[in-house]
Amino acid sequence: MKDKIFIFLQYIIPHSLTSRLVSKLAESKNKHLKNYLINLAIKKFKIDISEAKETDINKYTSFNNFFIRELKDGLRPISSDKKIVSSPADGVLSEFGDITNGSLIQAKGKTFTLKALIADSSTTDFTKFATIYLSPKDYHRVHMPIDGKLTKMVYIPGKLFSVNKVTAQNVDDLFAKNERLVCYFNTEIGEIAVIFVGALLVAGIETVWHGKVAPNYYKDIQIWNYDNDSFNIEFKKGDTLGWFNFGSTVIVLMPNNNINFKYNQSNADISVNQDLALIAE
């Protein structure tokens, strides 16, 4: 019953307005308010502040600034092996595997289409996917899973449902309904995409090359092309791509059928830079 009420409430509350109000609160630089919110989050979500590069909460300028905290150097080692695809985020590997007949697994018994996810019917090369759910306790920066060059960024407006396990099991086409940012990269295995999926109470999505992308007032799909001579935005595996200002989801799309995932089952904990998949010879 509790789950049904939670889902019902998500259908009736104003998603964008709620998230914008949360954003204003999270951006407050009032010392007492932001410290109260930070301490509350640490206690409620059991955040391990000892992993942060800055452990003194007084040094964070806002609640958002705390949520995009950096980790201590060397805390998430990364493989130098070019055949390893690394996890782009801390969280739970909720689903992964083949894109079959143009569809991805959302949760047990639920699928959604690649076309709906990326709002593009012309791209058919993606054959593998991995979905990582970032809870509020997790590190919120997103990193590059493999060396590559940015070619395009697409913002797709949408709803802001929660993306936790309960919602994923009950809301059809969840990741294709929610606001999202699709970032395309050329790599040695072909084109990949790293997708930032927005969610209820997520106070923003930002990238290192563009800055804040959401929240915004775009009502239509927005496209930024970076594949001409005036841009040369390259990333090494493990480089920071951007961040969420609260918990959310990252989806990685890959083109190569010779990619073998290093996991046997979904809903496994995973850390940023941890081995996600192996590129076979």
Q: Count other Cβ atoms within 10 Å, centred on residue 229.
A: 5
Catalytic residue among 15, 19, 90, 94: 90
Any idea of the CA torsion for 35, 211, 139, 201, to the nearest 10 degrees? 60
Residue 23 a catalytic site member? no
Catalytic residue among 23, 86, 143, 162: 143
What contacts 24+ positions apart, CB below 8 Å, involve 183-186? 183/150, 183/152, 183/153, 183/207, 183/241, 184/150, 184/151, 184/152, 184/153, 184/154, 185/144, 185/148, 185/149, 185/150, 185/151, 185/235, 186/148, 186/149, 186/151, 186/227
End-to-end CA separation in angstroms for the chain: 50
Residue 143 a catalytic site member? yes
Length of the chain: 281
Residue 222: half-sphere exposure toward Cβ, Cα within 13 Å: 14
Catalytic residue among 86, 87, 162, 248: 248
| Catalytic residue numbers, as ranges | 90, 143, 248
